[in-house]
Chains A and B, each alone.
Chain A
Amino acid sequence: MTWVPSTAAERDAMLSVIGAKTIDDLFASVPASLRAKSWALPAGISEMAVRARLEKWAARNAGGVTSFLGGGAYDHFIPAAVDALTSRSEFYTAYTPYQPECSQGTLQSIYEYQSAICRLTGLDYANASLYDGGTAVFEATTMAVRLTRRNRVVCHGSLNPVYRAMLETHIANLDLELEDGESPEGAACVIVQNPGFRGDVEDFTALAERCHEEGALLVMSFYPISLGILKSPGEMGVDIAVAEGQCLGVPLNFGGPWLGVMATRKEHVRKMPGRIAAATEDAQGRRGFVLTLQAREQHIRREKAMSNICSNEALCALRALVYLTLLGKEGLREVARHCHSKAEYLKKRLSFAQILNDGPTFNEFAVRLPRNAEEVAAELITRGFLAGLPLASLGAGEPNDLLIAVTERRTREELDAFAHALEEVCS
């Protein structure tokens, strides 16, 4: 089994041009003592057999279930044109656009993506993408540390506990203090999330003001779909906005690839990590796009770079761009409105449970059930529902607490059926 086109005769002809007798002669620089001690791998199997095996494994995963599971990743509808356009191999088999003249499709897409993110967040500059929502929080943190030269980092209770755990891992060997709360005094930044992990929607304008009075930055992890209606990070005075962009036309993919989004204010752009595309002209005055401010990056600045990031999630950023372009100004507002209204409808149907959110929520809320949430979820999955995230499994709630998310995909019929099934297994 191979994707090598050369025949034995061609290989011999090539070897004679090289002046070698056998292919092994080409490996003369690897001494016998350093050769592989083991190579115990299975023999290759046909394309047909590979597909059969993976189809079998795919069928062992939950399929065809009605999902109310969120917790940072959401089951939104993906228009057919997103897959059709992003599966063009001119996009997915291209490399990083270091040769701009033969990469204008990539570079203009990045420019349009950055523009979409800026318009969505109300901020001035966005980068071409980071890995995912969690690493974007880490990148925003180190960016804030660079900008303020302070080493105290404050995590607000609204932040996704998975992101907080990732942040802790990534900064373990740095001279930084991580604490919980919302006091900006002497801090490099306060990191908040809106809507919060348990669904609460807040206005962080006052906190942004307090941060700025104290010389700290406000970092916000946001939910891109919610910005169809919610107050933007820019309107609240946020300095660095980051997000998990999976909700923008990227499948759930069992956790990846997803999309790390980052945007910031004009004055901070030179400390921002990641690739940035900019418009310029060629000698004939034709508009074109290039990667810019590359002196921030590892291939130029090495150990003094703003980040070590090289590969990003460009193809997922293209998915997000195509998604946002298809939805357009009105479409995004419509999706957000549907998510919110349907979640509110479901909330009202769950009178047998206690809603744990005191204030407004967007499309996700926490409930305390009369029974253990993990048991309930396990029973409901056999009835065709992914009931939500049992919060205790992440140490983010009591054993009976369940985080429920609703997207535009859920019909009233499904909401009614789910509310009914949930009530049944709880009673």
Chain B
Amino acid sequence: MQLSYEKSVPGRRAIVLDPLDVPEAALPAALCRKEAAALPELGELDVVRHFTRLSKLNFGIDSHFYPLGSCTMKYNPKLAEAVAALAGFAHLHPHLSTSPAFWAHCQGAFELLYETEQWLAEIAGMKEVTLQPIAGAHGELTGTLLMAAYHRDRGSKKDTILIPDSAHGTNPASAAIAGFKVIEIPSHEDGTLRLDSVKAAMSDTVAGIMMTCPNTHGLFEPAVAEIADLMHAHDALVYYDGANLNAIMGIARPGDLGFDVMHYNLHKTFATPHGMGGPGSGPVGVGERLAPYLPGPRVVKGGDGYELRAPEKSIGRVAAFFGNFMMALRAYAYMCHLGKEGLRQASENAVLNANYIFARLKHAYEPAFDLPFMHECVFTAAPQAKKGVRALDIAKALLDRGFHAPTVYFPLTVKESLMIEPTETESRETLDEFCDAMLDIAEAVDSDPESLHEAPKTTPVGRLDEVRAARQLNCAC
């Protein structure tokens, strides 16, 4: 498709303001740009048609099943979009929170923040929650900064964080950006983290461990409580990566498992849209130990309504205001509608759907592990790869069959990994259609492998030359 710049016609306009109703003012020429920025010149219908056509080149949840492991691509309720359009929230200036003089005029927003934090705290068994972190990885960074502040405050020089090899890449990256050294802990061949492996890496310089539970292999960590005890015995902290919280709502809570600090992904568990990669939201929950260090200011209940206060030993601001407020609003609408029972049912059905897919595919694809999977199941396409069909080929063949691909080549611990997370919002028919497509592809590995190498054929473009992209590096026109 042509670029908007290629469609540009000199002098064409879409949006025109009323004539200036005050005298024209000018800035000194030395402070002004020489030429106007060469933005496209198009009419409104040109622009509308351009972006409408672009949108049609995408797979979205509303049009396609999206079984991306670790991403929790559940249905994004329209209710959440409707409340996010309310002008009283969408056009509210955040500096109304800056001066107490304005607080009476943003009480509705403060109440929303306060209530959302209460819900999230109870869901995960945390003492307090901050909504400031803007994304999951930003939550990890905030969490590791809180860990650093805790140890600094106690005068201890703990500078290392332990991270299992199955962790999301953001875990080691966040720990490093926060200033920690990272030690990678190998998973046991059964896909779980063993207490012994953690013990082997344990020392007085260890500030804490970052764990995902269930882990990225889709498995509940059997030693999670013992690992937490080991950490606490060394005055080290335990971080919970909330990417897989959708597996355990109402079943288990990170706080009860011994975690001191965690992040939630509102764009995963709480159904806020992924928006092509963002905005997300990564609130951080903490237990007793870290509550005094939370980012501030925080909404608290005062005598005359809600007001702002900074915690005693706050690390300061990680966002300019309250993080991605509109994502918290969407998540609040989601939680309120589902309530106690609905949230638990979401996790139950997420696990049911993943196990159903696993049961239907386990004879055609090799399970990566023998333990029971929770909300996602992981296969290895290594046997198919021996026949010349790689996980990537399977992914592309799925696109031709009308499904987004599962996550491939992650976790890094599994060769030719296919990681499938259906979520609870998919119907049995959709799961069956997907499984039929996967079985069809498994057959084609033997009968017609060439057709899989040529996939995808039905998409707007075929496989793209990534080497050329990096070498020629044409990133703007």
Contacts and interface: CB of A to CB of B under 8 A. Distances in A.
Given A96-B276, A203-B30, A328 B99 contact: no
24 contacts: A2-B345, A14-B356, A37-B125, A46-B337, A62-B102, A81-B44, A88-B51, A94-B59, A101-B459, A101-B461, A104-B460, A106-B58, A163-B320, A235-B33, A251-B91, A292-B469, A299-B410, A308-B137, A308-B173, A310-B169, A311-B282, A325-B50, A326-B42, A331-B13
Interface string B274-285: 111111101000
Contacts of B395: 99
A166 B17 CA distance: 36
A340 B473 CA distance: 37
Given A2-B342, A14-B356, A315-B279, A118 B33 contact: no
B108 interface: yes
A278 B134 contact: no
Nearest to B395: A99
Interface string A285-299: 011111011000111
Contacts of A41: 119, 122-123, 335, 339-340, 343
A8 to B, nearest CB: 11
Interface in B53-72: 54-64, 66, 68, 71
Interface string A276-288: 1111111110111
Contacts, number: 701
Given A36-B125, A42-B336, A341 B22 contact: yes
Contacts of A255: 94, 97, 319-323, 325
B109 A95 contact: no
Q: In the complex, which range does the number of interface residues on chain A fall in?
A: 35 or more
B370 to A, nearest CB: 12
A283 B274 contact: no
Interface in B63-119: 63-64, 66, 68, 71, 73-77, 79, 81-83, 86-102, 105-109, 111-112, 119
Given A27-B251, A279-B469, A328 B39 contact: yes
B195 interface: no
Interface in B18-64: 20-25, 27-28, 30-34, 36-42, 44, 47-48, 50-52, 54-64
A281 B105 CA distance: 53
Contact of A29 (B222, B279, B465): B222
Contacts of A17: 356, 359-360
B399 to A, nearest CB: 5
Contact of A276 (B52, B410, B475): B475
Interface in B319-364: 319-327, 329, 332-333, 335-346, 348-349, 351-353, 355-356, 358-360
A51 B82 contact: yes
Contacts of B60: 89-94
Nearest to B80: A50
B287 interface: no
B38 A292 contact: no
B5 A39 contact: no
Contact of B470 (A23, A34, A230, A278): A278
Nearest to A142: B177
A219 interface: no
Contacts of A18: 352, 355-356, 358-359
Given A61-B109, A90-B62, A310 B137 contact: yes
Nearest to B255: A37
Given A88-B55, A303-B173, A390-B101, A169 B47 contact: no
B399 A172 contact: no
Contact of A108 (B57, B90, B152): B57
Contacts of A331: 13-17, 39
Interface stretch (A130-138, A183-191, A209-217, A350-358): A130-138
Interface in A47-89: 47, 50-51, 53-63, 67, 69-73, 75, 79, 81, 84-85, 87-89
B404 A102 contact: yes
A240 B161 CA distance: 31
Given A36-B256, A94-B276, A307 B17 contact: no
B260 interface: no
A265 interface: no
B377 to A, nearest CB: 11
A243 to B, nearest CB: 13
B278 A315 contact: yes
A111 B2 CA distance: 12
B379 to A, nearest CB: 16
A26 B68 CA distance: 21
Nearest to A263: B476
A327 B56 CA distance: 23
A129 B278 contact: yes
Interface residues of B, number: 207
B437 interface: no
A345 B322 contact: no
A227 B469 CA distance: 30
B315 A169 contact: yes
Interface centre among B44, B340, B428, B476 (most CB of A within 10 A): B476
B477 interface: yes
Contacts of A301: 169, 173
Given A102-B59, A308-B177, 5 more contacts: A75-B93, A231-B31, A281-B468, A329-B36, A381-B101
Contacts of B282: 311
List 4 A-B pairs, minimum CB-CB distance, nearest first: A58-B88, A44-B339, A255-B321, A315-B275
B14 A328 contact: yes
B155 to A, nearest CB: 15
B242 interface: no
Nearest to B410: A299
Nearest to A99: B405
Given A96-B277, A311-B279, A377-B101, A90 B466 contact: no
B389 to A, nearest CB: 17
Contact of A26 (B31, B322, B355): B355
Contact of A252 (B42, B91, B469): B91
Contacts of B404: 95, 99, 102
B390 interface: no
B464 A280 contact: yes
A303 B425 CA distance: 34
A316 B248 CA distance: 31
A158 interface: no
Given A120-B37, A415-B22, A327 B14 contact: yes
A115 interface: yes
A81 B48 contact: yes
A108 B320 CA distance: 30
Nearest to B463: A282
Given A61-B89, A90-B56, A309-B135, A342 B108 contact: no
A15 interface: yes
Interface in B243-258: 248, 250-253, 256-257
Contacts of A202: 31
Contact of A305 (B173, B271, B352, B360): B173
B252 A30 contact: yes
Contact of B346 (A4, A37, A131, A315): A4
B148 interface: yes
Contacts of B338: 1-3, 44
A124 interface: yes
B320 A60 contact: no
A45 B339 contact: yes
A10 interface: yes
B149 interface: yes
Interface centre among A92, A168, A328 (most CB of B within 10 A): A328
A425 interface: no
B276 A326 contact: no
B177 to A, nearest CB: 5
Contacts of B230: none
